[in-house]
Amino acid sequence: MVKLEKNEVRVAVFILFPVLILLVFVVLKLGYSFASSTKDIYLKVDSISSIKNGTQVKVKGYTIGRVVEIIPVYQPALHFLAVMRVENEIAMYEDCTAVIQNQNIIGDTIIELRNPETKQELLKEYAVIEGIEYVNLEALLQDVHVMLATVTSTVGVLRDISLDSRSNIRVLLGNLSRSVETVSTVLNDSQKDIIEIMRSFRKTAKTMDEISTELKRHPLKFLMKGDK
């Protein structure tokens, strides 16, 4: 066997030790644990526009893991499974929810895990959770911008209609005023006729009342008078 000199051993250790430290750091950074203190949970999402590898997973603001892989699934329709590597020490239960949201206005996206009010069995490894995505600020601002543009356009249209129809409104008001005057004149002119008509109605009503009274008192006499 070939014996290594002390200098060669030292050089090998000097080279390999930093490489080993770097590998351990990378593995831990990616969420792996040599003590099996983590477990993988799948997050089902329809789009990966808001999450990526390295997205933090939190519970009540405390970081318990991160996304280590995103797997596309093509059946029955295209969706994605984000592999969340989280700590085993944090108790998560079945039917928990995963809310995808921003930490703040300019912060990165995070995944907030929330336990259900009624706790059941502990969440097992490789379980699948449906992701609930909050509307991010950028999409909200875009919707507001579209709404403001629509309101501005509508105001412009109303302004044009107002300018074009201003003369028509004046003509309409003038015609309405003249119509009111005409109706008032007709009522004034026909006031006497209306009074006479009311008098005739009163006389007719009085006559009918007398006939009705006579008929009730002497029905046969009234009928005999009718024959004659």
What six digits make up the tokens of 10? 């030292």
Residue 16 has a pLDDT of 77
**Structural domain contains residue 226:** no
Out of 114, 134, 154, pick the residue that ends a domain.
134
**Structural domain contains residue 228:** no
**Structural domain contains residue 223:** no
Q: Is 146 left (phi over 0), alpha (psi -120 to 50) or beta?
A: alpha
Please list the pLDDT of the chain residue by residue as tens digits (228 residues).
Answer: 445 566 666 767 777 778 788 877 766 665 554 555 899 999 999 988 889 999 999 999 999 999 999 999 998 899 999 999 999 999 999 999 999 988 665 668 999 999 998 888 999 999 999 998 875 555 556 656 677 777 777 766 666 666 656 666 677 777 777 777 776 776 666 666 666 666 676 777 777 777 777 767 766 665 565 544
Range of the domain at 193: 142-212
DSSP 91: -
The SS3 of residue 104 is: coil
**Structural domain contains residue 157:** yes
Burial class (CB in 10 A: 0-12, 13-18, 19+), 87: middle
Half-sphere CA count of 187, side-chain side, radius 13 A: 6
Beta carbons within 8 Å of 145's beta carbon, 6+ residues apart: none
> Is 91 in the same domain as 127?
yes
One-letter amino acid for residue 177 of the chain: S
**Structural domain contains residue 73:** yes
> Is 74 in the same domain as 115?
yes
Q: Is the peptide bond before 76 cis (omega within 30 degrees of 0)?
A: yes
Residue 200 has a pLDDT of 72
Q: Quickly count: other Cβ atoms within 10 Å of residue 58's Cβ.
A: 18
> Is 149 in the same domain as 179?
yes
> Is 111 in the same domain as 149?
no
> Is 150 in the same domain as 129?
no
> Is 42 in the same domain as 125?
yes
Q: Which residues pair with 138 in a beta bridge?
A: none
> Is 129 in the same domain as 54?
yes
> Is 75 in the same domain as 128?
yes
> Is 189 in the same domain as 146?
yes
> Is 167 in the same domain as 191?
yes
**Structural domain contains residue 188:** yes
Burial class (CB in 10 A: 0-12, 13-18, 19+), 86: buried
**Structural domain contains residue 183:** yes
CA dist., res. 40 & res. 29, Å (int): 15
Length of the chain: 228
Q: Considering the entire predicted model, what is its pTM?
A: 0.46
> Is 1 in the same domain as 43?
no
Overall number of domains in the chain? 3
**Structural domain contains residue 218:** no
Q: Angle between the 137-189 and 191-217 helix axes, to the nearest 10 degrees?
A: 80
> Is 19 in the same domain as 61?
no
